[in-house]
Amino acid sequence: MISIRLPFAGQCLALVLLLLIFSWISLFSWSVIAITPMDALHALYNMNAESIAQHIVHDLRLPRVLIGIMVGANLAAAGVIMQGLTQNPLASPSVLGINAGAALGMATVSSIAPWFGLLGTSLAAIIGGGIAWAFVMLLGSAWRGGNEHGRLVLAGVAISALCAALTKAVIIIAEDQAAGVLTWLAGSLTDARWQTFDSFWPVCVIGLLGAMLIAPTLNLLQLGDDNARNLGVSLMWVKLGGSFLVLLLVGSAISSVGAIGFVGLLVPHMARMLAGQDHRKFLPIAMMLGACLVVLSDTISRGIIYPAETPAGAILALIGAPFFIYLVRKRTL
């Protein structure tokens, strides 16, 4: 295991710096209309209303970066909570079916009742993800605790397959909405605007604060359900509360930018390598790492077949899937 043992504060500082640099790069790189690095900075604090480049930065790039940061932090926090609740190193929104469930909910509502609008589809995504997650937990017998890691993952995979099939069926039957749903399914930051940002940030802040509050309890869960109960943890409430937080975090992220996979799987492990096993420390680290990862892959996704864009989700999947295999191989299941 690689451990870079900077003190905690130093790690935080380094990650914040890294995040700022990535965001800055993301603001000016790969644009059809040339943007200089200085344009990007000027647009932030001293906007020149005449410059098209600075308008692009302010109206398109900035909300995109901010949303990318929030999405990354949300998904990483959700991954940490899920892995803590299930004590399963493979737990994450994409592996355990939440993404697929949310996609199904969203596809169903937007094709059957499109007049519900953004709020309706967000709600549908959260409800769909919640139902899928409940099914996976029940079928994978994760409520009972114990070491049934493989079963939980396979249950997640089967639920994902089922939801994916139903989603495709819905898309095909309700053809007219298909294009929108398909772009959304791939998980892309292309359509991130200030409007999305406005409805996203309150939920994001509540979710992340909640995650920090639950972190000490997650430490106790590492000792096993029985020991945690001995130490006065109410398992029932922790698991319900944790699940609710996960849904809030994942649901808000998914309804803003679509199903971005593998962040929740990848980042908690990286964070553990950096900050050790204490949730109070590696949870904030994970949030910052997640933000860095999403901003970075969004930047790459714009550049890789420039001038066309690939969804950031596809880039993340390419990085994430080999890591998933590595985890399966390394861990004894």
Distance (Å, whole) CA 244 – CA 100 = 17
Considering the complex, what minimum distance in angstroms separates the CB of residue 226 from other proteins?
A: 22
Tell me: does residue 317 bind other proteins (CB under 8 A).
yes
Tell me: does residue 112 bind other proteins (CB under 8 A).
no
The set of residues, in sequence order, having a beta carbon less than 8 Å from that of 67 and lying 6+ positions away, is 189, 192, 196, 197, 200, 256, 257
For other proteins, what does the binding mask look like between residues 252 and 291, x meaning CB under 8 A? ----------------------------------------
Could you tell me where the DSSP H helices lie in 61-177? 62-86, 98-112, 117-139, 149-173
The set of residues, in sequence order, having a beta carbon less than 8 Å from that of 109 and lying 6+ positions away, is 116, 120, 121, 123, 124
10 Å CB burial of residue 319 (0-12, 13-18, 19+) is middle
Tell me: does residue 178 bind other proteins (CB under 8 A).
no
Q: What b/e string do you get for 31-43 counting C-beta neighbours within 10 Å, with b at 16 or more?
A: beeebeeebbebb
Q: Rounded to 5 degrees, what are φ and ψ at 141?
A: 45, 45
Nearer to other proteins, 54 or 167 (CB): 167
Task: For residue 248, give the nearest of 119, 88, 94, 129 by alpha carbon.
Answer: 129
Nearer to other proteins, 211 or 315 (CB): 315
Considering the complex, what minimum distance in angstroms separates the CB of residue 227 from other proteins?
A: 26
Considering the complex, what minimum distance in angstroms separates the CB of residue 270 from other proteins?
A: 18
Site for other proteins in 49-108 (CB under 8 A): 90
Considering the complex, what minimum distance in angstroms separates the CB of residue 162 from other proteins?
A: 4
For other proteins, what does the binding mask look like between residues 125 and 164, x meaning CB under 8 A? --------------xx---------xx-xxx-xxx-xx-x
Considering the complex, what minimum distance in angstroms separates the CB of residue 309 from other proteins?
A: 9
Distance (Å, whole) CA 180 – CA 317 = 21
Tell me: does residue 165 bind other proteins (CB under 8 A).
yes
Tell me: does residue 311 bind other proteins (CB under 8 A).
yes
Considering the complex, what minimum distance in angstroms separates the CB of residue 267 from other proteins?
A: 17
Considering the complex, what minimum distance in angstroms separates the CB of residue 149 from other proteins?
A: 8
Give the length of the chain. Answer: 333
Distance (Å, whole) CA 133 – CA 126 = 10
Q: Rounded to 5 degrees, what are φ and ψ at 226?
A: -65, -45
Nearer to other proteins, 220 or 257 (CB): 257
Nearer to other proteins, 215 or 266 (CB): 266
Nearer to other proteins, 172 or 213 (CB): 172
| Torsion, Cα of 206, 208, 210, 211 (10° steps) | 160
Geometric angle at alpha carbon 259, from 148 and 298, rounded to 5°: 120
DSSP state of 177: G
Tell me: does residue 25 bind other proteins (CB under 8 A).
no
User: According to CB under 8 A, which one of 14, 206, 273, 304 is a site residue for other proteins?
Assistant: 304
Tell me: does residue 179 bind other proteins (CB under 8 A).
no
Stretch that binds other proteins, among 16-24, 70-78, 216-224, 307-315 (CB under 8 A): 307-315
List residues binding other proteins (CB under 8 A).
90, 139-140, 150-151, 153-155, 157-159, 161-162, 164-166, 168-169, 172-173, 175, 186, 304-305, 310-311, 314-315, 317-318, 320-322, 324-325, 328-329, 333
